[in-house]
A = this chain, B = another copy of it.
Amino acid sequence: MIIQPQSGDGLHEACGVFGIYARGEAVARITFFGLYALQHRGQESAGIAVSDGQRAILYKEMGLVSQVFTEENLRPLQGHIAIGHVRYSTADSSRRLSAQPFLLESALGPIAIAHNGNLVNTEDLRQELFTRGVGLASYCDTEVLLQVLVGAPGDTWLERIRHMMKKALGAYSLTILTRDTLYAVRDPWGFRPLSMGRLNGGWVVASESCALQTVGAHDIQEIPRGAVVIINDDGARIVEGAPPEKPNLCIFEYIYFARPDSIIDGQLIHNVRQALGRELAREHPVDADLVMPVPDSATPAAIGYAQESGIPYGEGLIKNRYIGRTFIQPNDRLRKAGVALKFNPLSEVLEGKRIVVVDDSIVRGTTSRPIVEMLRRAGAREIHMRISSPPIKHPCFMGVDMATYDELIAHRLSVEEIRKEMGADSLGYLSLEGMIRAVQRPKENFCLACFTGEYLFEQKAGGFVRVHPHRQTV
């Protein structure tokens, strides 16, 4: 039984973006702290681009925000406009080219872009660029977006952004820096969150409201679907970039990605997660002595389950807080001996108890079994797994590094088979309806493709098209 650090059965969010326009402020420094608060959305690389109204410069590197930036490399980043980006963690070294923001010189001056999301028609756009004779330095869809912008018709960046929004299919919450303006762009479906706020006479934009709060912003609001926010010395204007489609927010922002202290679509993430736990308790009650989370992301749902069920809440697994990017691998004997790097059970707590273990989701199912084994060995008498989201049966094409069909355990196995595989006494997934009740918004507002397989876009000969009846094909 081996639980690897950082491996986990994880979903990986693509990115976090930040932007600021504020004369008289240390915009790179504020961006640093904003990215710091978005670190949970990506730990692979970090970068900041700034403009002082004349020229734009960029610093980006592999690593955590706190590792990438030093007083020394922050110092040259002078100006009154900045954007920043954090990217999610992977060992693939070729990803170095994908660190963001991207910055290019163009006919209209410098332009830098930071992107959270994923396009489904990247390959089509790449081919268009190739046909137009543009070479691409990376495999990142953000570079594609940027060259599309640079090559778009129109005398202003706004026209070009609108053009780009016509071309791009998929998820994109963007911050864009030009010589004298900060833009924030959210795709017409609103796949990923994006918020803005005021700061000392200036403006800040971020993937999540928690980052705006962290830097002391006020008057925080979410940016509408399809909107372009234009921020310069004339203030902030919100204009339509593309007609907003029906909303299609990735529901996993509620379940797992976003920080509990962020507000999305008017709801505090923490509260939604507690509500998910309460629904779970109603759908899958069980007679037990203790409700415990798989820490840390499932903690609010476990608290919610406990509140609803009346079973006491407690901790049964301790998470090592210092798990970092380690390349030291346990050898086979260590594996067999049960090196438990990520979690340790609280044996005395578990001894003889019937426990409810709440987790937020199961992707590959690779960590559930060792956790159940670990709890069993620690003395738990009964182990009832409760998952605060439905079975994930379909991969995501919208920026979540989720796995392929074959890897998805719920695609391969029934719930009962999964229960057997993990060795639990019972297993309950929250139903789709229960999840929707908990999030308190119409089902139609969300991208649920990983649960339902109903994708908004579908690959046809000649590229991706939107397939839902209520939307037009591009």
Whether B36 and A322, one on each chain, are in contact in the complex, defined by CB atoms closer than 8 angstroms, is yes
Per-residue CB contact flags for chain A residues 318-358 toward chain B (1 = under 8 Å, else 0) read: 10111111111111011001111100111111000000000
Whether A214 and B134, one on each chain, are in contact in the complex, defined by CB atoms closer than 8 angstroms, is no
Whether B331 and A33, one on each chain, are in contact in the complex, defined by CB atoms closer than 8 angstroms, is no
Within 8 A of B (CB), among A301-323: 303, 306-307, 312-315, 318, 320-323
Any B CB within 8 A of the CB of A431 = no
Question: B105, B321, B330: which contacts A33 (Cβ < 8 A)?
Answer: B330
Q: Contacts A328-B74, A334-B29; is A214 near B339 (CB within 8 Å)?
A: yes
Q: Contacts A70-B327, A131-B107, A150-B134; is A43 near B315 (CB within 8 Å)?
A: no
Q: Which residues of B contact A137 (CB under 8 A)?
A: 102-105, 137
Look across to chain B and name the residue whose beta carbon is closest to the beta carbon of A214.
B340
Look across to chain B and name the residue whose beta carbon is closest to the beta carbon of A94.
B57
Q: Tell me, rounded to whole Å, the shortest Cβ–Cβ distance linking A240 to chain B.
A: 24
Question: B5, B321, B347: which contacts A40 (Cβ < 8 A)?
Answer: B321
Any B CB within 8 A of the CB of A436 = no
Chain A to chain B contacts (Cβ below 8 Å), 12 pairs = A5-B66, A29-B331, A36-B322, A39-B322, A70-B327, A105-B130, A105-B139, A133-B152, A135-B147, A213-B344, A303-B313, A307-B312
Whether B215 and A334, one on each chain, are in contact in the complex, defined by CB atoms closer than 8 angstroms, is yes
Q: How far is the CA of A341 from the CA of B37 in the complex (A)?
A: 7
Per-residue CB contact flags for chain A residues 63-104 toward chain B (1 = under 8 Å, else 0) read: 011110111001010000000000000000110000000111
Any B CB within 8 A of the CB of A276 = no
Any B CB within 8 A of the CB of A247 = no
Interface of A (DSSP majority class)? mixed
Whether B26 and A261, one on each chain, are in contact in the complex, defined by CB atoms closer than 8 angstroms, is no
Whether B151 and A66, one on each chain, are in contact in the complex, defined by CB atoms closer than 8 angstroms, is no
Question: B139, B215, B327: which contacts A339 (Cβ < 8 A)?
Answer: B215
Instruction: Bin chain A's interface residue count.
Output: 35 or more
Any B CB within 8 A of the CB of A271 = yes
Whether A322 and B268, one on each chain, are in contact in the complex, defined by CB atoms closer than 8 angstroms, is no
Within 8 A of B (CB), among A259-310: 259-261, 263, 268, 270-271, 274, 296, 299-300, 303, 306-307
Per-residue CB contact flags for chain A residues 1-45 toward chain B (1 = under 8 Å, else 0) read: 000010000000000000000000110011011001101100100
Q: Contacts A133-B107, A135-B106, A313-B303; is A260 near B318 (CB within 8 Å)?
A: yes
Any B CB within 8 A of the CB of A132 = yes
Question: B213, B214, B337: which contacts A200 (Cβ < 8 A)?
Answer: B337
Whether B261 and A104, one on each chain, are in contact in the complex, defined by CB atoms closer than 8 angstroms, is no
Any B CB within 8 A of the CB of A111 = yes
Q: Which residues of B contact A139 (CB under 8 A)?
A: 105
Q: Which residues of B contact A70 (CB under 8 A)?
A: 327-328
Q: Contacts A216-B337, A307-B312, A314-B303; is A43 near B151 (CB within 8 Å)?
A: no
Question: B135, B321, B344: which contacts A105 (Cβ < 8 A)?
Answer: B135
